[in-house]
């Protein structure tokens, strides 16, 4: 039986045709390597403009993990502590990359589906200054979170302001930031509050590959370009990453694709609840988490779906720019049996 990857992950989605066209367009002539090309210049400027960050440094990486590692490592020294939620991708799904490259400790904070209460920050920084404990210097949060939740603008602003009062830098893992921005229907700059560094995902939202690092306070990320180079993320042919961003960021395409993914997830979510199935988290962006008993899972055995925890009956179904209404109807119909 052929198993469909339609809901397996937004990473499983095909590449958007506009991105393929942009790659072909960028293939015409020789241009300078290692980011000294016009594509990088244009994409950099677009990201600065969109996020109202005129002084930001922009770096490009090939994967979301690399983008996180670059941002977190440049902000920390080996005796520092990186705070994150208990479900952070950087903690659970990057094979310890941020810890290995930064040398800093990664500490999990309790959260509500990845949304952290600012009081948790206060608890951690209370011990700062004691040589026996590592020094909390940055907190990383995810927008939208690993459980598909979205930080509202006010909640995010409050969190970032509190972190800054506590002398913590703020990193946003924005692997799915387009989905969050589309869900909030906000200006992108508002969806990142005053965060110090943001990784802007491209791979899950129509690109072939490539995530950007928007460094909004470059003076606090000394050496970041050396980290990028050391971990092999300064692509000599960076134009092909930048051209993809340029294509997606033109005429709001990145938010249209993200909004479509969110709409499909909302449709799926409504269908699941209508048949009495229990969602494990509210559907706020493009990921749906639903409890399935073995019989229900068997009914959709034709679909590869991720089970985040082998001991829990919760399954994740992800929609992308390419998800169709027919696919959503099909999975719902199969579940109805």
Which window, 57-65, 74-82, 102-110, 227-235, contacts ligand PLP (CB under 6 A)? 57-65
Distance, CA of 243 to CA of 252 (rounded, Å): 15
Q: How far is the CB of 212 from ligand PLP (least distance, A)?
A: 12
In the list 4, 45, 63, 263, the residue contacting ligand PLP (rule: CB under 6 A) is: 63
Q: Is 242 in the site for ligand PLP (CB under 6 A)?
A: no
Q: Is 142 in the site for ligand PLP (CB under 6 A)?
A: yes
**Can you list the pairs that 32-39 forms with residues at least 24 positions away whose Cβ atoms lie under 8 Å?**
33/236, 33/237, 33/238, 34/234, 34/235, 34/236, 34/238, 35/60, 35/234, 35/235, 35/238, 35/242, 37/238, 37/239, 37/242, 38/239, 39/238, 39/239, 39/240, 39/242, 39/243, 39/246
In the list 37, 57, 113, 146, the residue contacting ligand PLP (rule: CB under 6 A) is: 146
Q: Is 233 in the site for ligand PLP (CB under 6 A)?
A: no
Q: How far is the CB of 67 from ligand PLP (least distance, A)?
A: 8
Query: Site size for ligand PLP, by CB under 6 A?
Result: 10
Distance, CA of 230 to CA of 10 (rounded, Å): 29
In the list 13, 39, 87, 89, the residue contacting ligand PLP (rule: CB under 6 A) is: 89
Distance, CA of 291 to CA of 94 (rounded, Å): 25
Nearer to ligand PLP, 271 or 316 (CB): 316
Which window, 62-70, 219-227, 291-299, 314-322, contacts ligand PLP (CB under 6 A)? 62-70
Contact predicate 137/80, CB 8 Å: yes
Pairing, β 80-85 against β 105-109:
parallel
Which parts of this chain interact with ligand PLP (CB under 6 A)?
63-65, 68, 89, 142, 146, 173, 175, 203
């Amino acid at each position: 039986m052929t198993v469909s990857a339609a809901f397996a992950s937004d990473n499983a989605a095909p590449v958007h045709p506009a991105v393929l066209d942009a790659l072909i367009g960028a293939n015409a002539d020789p241009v300078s390597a290692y980011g000294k090309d016009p594509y990088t210049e244009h994409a950099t400027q677009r990201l600065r403009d969109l996020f109202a960050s005129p002084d930001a440094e922009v770096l490009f990486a090939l994967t979301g993990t690399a983008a996180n590692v670059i941002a977190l490592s440049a902000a920390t020294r080996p005796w520092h502590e990186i705070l994150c939620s208990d479900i952070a991708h950087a903690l659970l799904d990057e094979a310890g990359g941020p810890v290995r490259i930064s040398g800093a400790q990664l500490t999990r904070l309790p959260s509500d589906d990845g949304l952290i209460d600012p009081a948790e920050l206060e608890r951690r920084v209370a011990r700062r200054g004691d040589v026996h404990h590592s020094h909390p210097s940055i907190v990383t949060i995810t927008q939208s979170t690993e459980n598909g939740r979205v930080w509202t603008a006010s909640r995010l602003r409050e969190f970032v302001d509190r972190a800054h009062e506590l002398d913590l830098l703020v990193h946003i893992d924005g692997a799915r930031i387009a989905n969050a921005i589309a869900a909030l229907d906000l200006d992108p700059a508002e969806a990142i509050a005053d965060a110090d560094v943001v990784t802007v995902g491209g791979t899950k939202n129509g690109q072939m590959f490539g995530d950007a690092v928007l460094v909004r306070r470059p003076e606090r990320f000394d050496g970041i370009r050396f980290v990028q180079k050391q971990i092999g993320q300064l692509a000599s042919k960076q134009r092909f990453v930048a051209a993809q961003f340029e294509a997606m960021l033109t005429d709001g395409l990145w938010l249209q694709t993200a909004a479509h993914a969110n709409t499909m997830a909302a449709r799926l979510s409504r269908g699941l609840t209508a048949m009495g199935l229990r969602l494990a988290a509210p559907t706020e962006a493009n990921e749906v988490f639903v409890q399935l008993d073995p019989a229900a899972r068997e009914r959709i055995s034709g679909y590869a779906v991720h089970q985040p925890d082998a001991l829990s009956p919760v399954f994740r179904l992800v929609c992308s720019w390419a998800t169709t209404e027919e696919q959503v109807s099909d999975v719902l119909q199969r579940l109805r049996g």
